[in-house]
């Protein structure tokens, strides 16, 4: 590769989960430290970071077509870095197949992006997909992000090895960031304007650490500590695994006002044979009992989940068990997917792969139930009063959008600003949002 002009502007394109969004922000902060600025809307960047996702469907093919499409107005290619889970899984192949890529960097190695960039400028292509045991976080710059909502990665990786999932291979083993580092980062985020922080982890509720007195702490204890941060008004966390729930976290939902009444708890299937084949290590019944414990301490908690239809061998009757589970839970929102074989995972070579049409039909039926419950949830909110954290302008002048405590989008008209916490009455439910009426004028 020829030496390249040092980039002046960058763009990070993040795909997939919220952890990638967080990693993308942090890569941006690293590049900013080197004096590279984010490209403006519509402007072509000198350096493009494709922060990829490998969880479902032809992810790698998409990366190659994105690489092919990237062009500056003069027809030349920007400098390209491929990051994220496809980089981790297929780094060497990317280097071979896509000569225009200068850097391939895995999710545990991106703190070394600045060094890789120096090499790339000299014309040396660089790959780094190491998974060091020590966290990359120590070498990242301090947070400077200005926004009322922020992500904070507390835990990474997964030891669960669900048989369909590529995450344990791309993100590696579970690691928890130290308690004090997280408290410190939360203060920094609040100083920079955050009023709501979402704690992130592939298995966020597996977070384990020691508090400042050296006592063992889990996510519940960490949340109680973060709730002491002045100016931090809302705490959320995602994504959890049913088997890592402990009493302290459930209890926090009943006692910590800043912890929002919302729980994303994937179940994937409502059938015990399928759950076993997925290596989920819980049953439909144990999952339902767990939700009851959350509802007991926080009756208005909004529930969300993930579902996979068409796992290898799933019969029609087994699929219907998932529909029955949905009927019992009444989710406020949920995410559902057709099973997608991931190379290298046990399920990819299991007998009984389900034809595409059957998966399509099951997904449509499942989503119809989920949509029904989402609409019902939104309708049941009408008449309630709640706080809304203003996140952005709406489509019409004077219109604002924010989130309710239950994570539903709420729009309303007011003389407000981004970052205001306002009190609204919810007046009209739509399928994906609720219209609100301002009760109190915005307090700056
Ligand atoms: N096929 C379909 N969906 C998957 N998920 C993870 N792996 C696969 C796969 N191979 C879904 C699960 C998980 C969510 C993040 O993505 O529902 O909870
Ligand atoms: Fe994947 Fe299962 Fe780990 Fe979630 S718990 S990241 S689905 S292996």
Cα–ligand 1 centroid distance for 229 (angstroms): 34
pLDDT at 133: 61
Residue 410 forms beta bridges with which residues? Answer: 402, 434
Query: C-alpha 435: how far from its chain's center?
Result: 26
Q: Specify whether the CB–CB gap between 265 and 305 falls below 8 A.
A: yes
User: Considering only CA atoms, which residue is closest to atom 5 of ligand 2?
Assistant: 160
User: Considering only CA atoms, which residue is closest to atom 13 of ligand 1?
Assistant: 306
Cα–ligand 2 centroid distance for 275 (angstroms): 13
Of ligand 2's atoms, which has the minimum distance to the CA of residue 241? Answer: 5
Which of the ligands is closest to the CA of residue 172?
2
pLDDT for 368-377, tens place per residue? 999 999 999 9
pLDDT at 315: 98
State how far the alpha carbon of 143 is from the alpha carbons of 11, 49, 69, 188, 193, in Å: 18, 20, 32, 6, 11
Taking residues 219-246, report their average pLDDT: 97
pLDDT at 145: 65
Higher pLDDT, 171 or 233: 233
Q: CA 184, CA 50: separation in Å to the nearest integer?
A: 29
Q: In this predicted structure, which of 11-25, 351-365, 377-391 has the lowest mean pLDDT?
A: 11-25
| Domains of the chain: residue spans and CATH | 9-128 (3.40.50.12160), 136-380 (3.80.30.20), 385-438 (2.40.50.140)
User: Considering only CA atoms, which residue is closest to atom 18 of ligand 1?
Assistant: 306
Taking residues 237-251, report their average pLDDT: 97
Instruction: Name the average pLDDT for the chain.
Output: 94
> Does the pLDDT value for residue 391 go beyond 90?
yes
Q: What is the percentage of the chain residues whose pLDDT exceeds 70?
A: 98
Which of the ligands is closest to the CA of residue 311?
1
Ligand 2 residue neighbourhood (C-beta within 6 Å): 158, 160-162, 165, 167-168, 202-203, 241
Give 135's pLDDT tier (boundaries 50, 70, 90): low
> Does the pLDDT value for residue 313 go beyond 70?
yes
Which of the ligands is closest to the CA of residue 336?
1
- The model scores a pTM over 0.85: yes
Cα–ligand 2 centroid distance for 165 (angstroms): 6
Q: How many CB atoms are located within 10 Å of the residue 395 CB?
A: 7
Query: E strands, 175-315, where?
Result: 175-176, 196-200, 208-210, 216-218, 234-238, 262-264, 302-309
> Does the pLDDT value for residue 442 go beyond 80?
no
> Does the pLDDT value for residue 433 go beyond 60?
yes
CB-neighbour burial class of residue 293 (10 A; exposed 0-12, middle 13-18, buried 19+) = middle
Cα–ligand 1 centroid distance for 242 (angstroms): 15
Q: Specify whether the CB–CB gap between 187 and 229 falls below 8 A.
A: yes
Q: Are strands 262-264 and 302-309 parallel, antiparallel or unpaired?
A: parallel
Neighbouring C-alpha atoms within 13 Å toward the C-beta of 156: 25
pLDDT for 72-84, tens place per residue? 888 889 999 999 9
Tokens of 159: 């030891």
Task: Residue 325: name the closest of 242, 398, 244 by CA.
Answer: 242
């Amino acid at each position: 590769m020829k030496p390249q002009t040092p980039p002046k502007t960058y763009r990070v394109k993040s795909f997939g989960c919220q952890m990638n969004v967080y990693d993308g922000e942090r890569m941006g902060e690293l590049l900013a430290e080197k004096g590279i600025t984010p490209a403006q809307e519509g402007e072509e960047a000198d350096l493009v970071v494709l922060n990829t996702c490998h969880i479902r469907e032809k992810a790698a093919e998409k990366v190659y077509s994105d690489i092919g499409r990237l062009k500056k107005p003069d027809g030349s290619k920007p400098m390209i870095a491929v990051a994220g889970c496809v980089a981790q899984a297929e780094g060497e192949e990317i280097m071979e197949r896509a000569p225009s890529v200068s850097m391939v960097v895995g999710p545990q190695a991106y703190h070394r992006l600045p060094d890789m960039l120096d090499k790339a400028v000299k014309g040396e292509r660089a790959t780094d997909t190491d998974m060091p045991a020590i966290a990359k976080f120590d070498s990242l710059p301090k947070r400077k992000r200005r926004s009322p909502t922020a992500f904070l990665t507390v835990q990474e990786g997964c030891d669960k090895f669900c048989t369909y999932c590529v995450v344990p291979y791309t993100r590696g083993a579970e690691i928890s960031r130290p308690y004090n580092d997280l408290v410190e980062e939360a203060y920094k985020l609040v100083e920079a304007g955050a009023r709501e922080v979402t704690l992130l982890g592939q298995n966020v509720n597996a977070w384990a650490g020691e508090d400042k007195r050296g006592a063992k702490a889990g996510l519940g204890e960490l949340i109680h500590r973060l709730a002491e941060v002045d100016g931090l008004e809302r705490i959320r966390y995602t994504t959890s695994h049913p088997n890592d729930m402990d009493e302290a976290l459930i209890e926090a939902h009943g006692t910590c006002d800043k912890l929002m009444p919302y729980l994303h708890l994937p179940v994937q299937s409502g059938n015990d044979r399928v759950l076993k084949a997925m290596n989920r290590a819980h049953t439909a019944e144990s999952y339902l009992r767990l939700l009851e414990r959350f509802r007991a301490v926080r009756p208005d908690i909004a529930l969300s989940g993930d579902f996979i239809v068409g796992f290898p061998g799933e019969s029609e009757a087994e699929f219907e068990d998932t529909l029955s589970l949905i009927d019992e839970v009444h989710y406020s929102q949920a995410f559902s997917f057709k099973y997608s074989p991931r190379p290298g995972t046990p399920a990819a070579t299991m007998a009984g792969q389900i034809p595409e049409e059957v998966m399509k039909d099951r997904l449509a039926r499942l989503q119809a139930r989920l949509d029904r419950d989402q609409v019902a949830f939104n309708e049941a909110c009408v008449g309630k009063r709640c706080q809304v954290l203003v996140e952005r302008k709406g489509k019409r002048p004077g219109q604002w959008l924010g989130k309710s405590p239950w994570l539903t989008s709420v729009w309303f008209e007011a003389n407000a600003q981004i970052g205001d916490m306002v009190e609204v009455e919810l007046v009209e439910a739509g399928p994906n949002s609720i219209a609100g009426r301002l009760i109190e004028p915005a307090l700056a």
